[in-house]
Homo-oligomer: A and B are copies of this chain.
Amino acid sequence: MKSLSNDQLLEELQSAEDQITDRIADNMETFGVSSTVGRLLGIIYMNREAMTLDSLAEETGMSKTRMSQVMRQMLALNIAEKEFVKGSRKEHYNVESDYAQTFISLFTTNWKDVVSRNMTLERRLRDRVDQMSNSVTDSTSEEIVERIETLSEELDAWQAYYNWIDRLVDFFESGKIFDHIPIHDSHKEDNHHEK
């Protein structure tokens, strides 16, 4: 294996760092967000310091407007925050540096939204089903009575499911998850890396 010159080392470093950013961007798609969200996350993370819209635009080669759009989305997702930098008029954005914490933010923000939307619909549908039940008379066909009953049971399952997700979200958000899945696995220490 041949040794590397200073210049080659710099190139290697840049290439490796870029690959990490690329992969972070890629993985972010699993959360259902555009890869640019992931790219900015990776860039700011690897930069280890809050960045401005202009510096992000330069780094990505994209327009400042797009940077603004994406950063707003990231704020909404709770995976970035504004950071005050004295002496500068520009807004600076920073990201959580803990991977697992970012995972949790994305997971909980996304699912909280879903839960709330669904709980609302569930209530509305429940009312309608109740009204249907009340409309049933002797002249109502057997099939209809059955479908109403099935629908009502469906809503029960629906409610149980979103209630489960709600508790799941809380399990992550409260950090209880770490009691059961600690960040650093105590078992497999075999592959440990020495400093």
Question: Interface residues, chain A, CB within 8 Å of chain B?
Answer: 1, 3-6, 8-10, 12-13, 16-17, 19-20, 23, 26-27, 29-32, 46, 99-100, 103, 110-111, 113-114, 117-118, 121, 125, 128-129, 131-132, 134-137, 139-141, 144, 147-148, 151, 154, 156-161, 163-165, 167-168, 171, 176-177, 180-181, 183-185, 193
Contacts and interface: CB of A to CB of B under 8 A. Distances in A.
Given A99-B157, A99-B161, A100-B164, A144 B32 contact: no
B16 A129 contact: yes
A19 B123 CA distance: 13
Contacts of A4: 131-132, 135
B20 A158 contact: yes
Given A30-B113, A32-B32, A168-B181, 11 more contacts: A3-B135, A5-B135, A6-B144, A9-B132, A12-B132, A13-B132, A16-B125, A27-B118, A30-B111, A103-B161, A156-B193
Contacts of A125: 16, 19-20
A19 B155 CA distance: 12
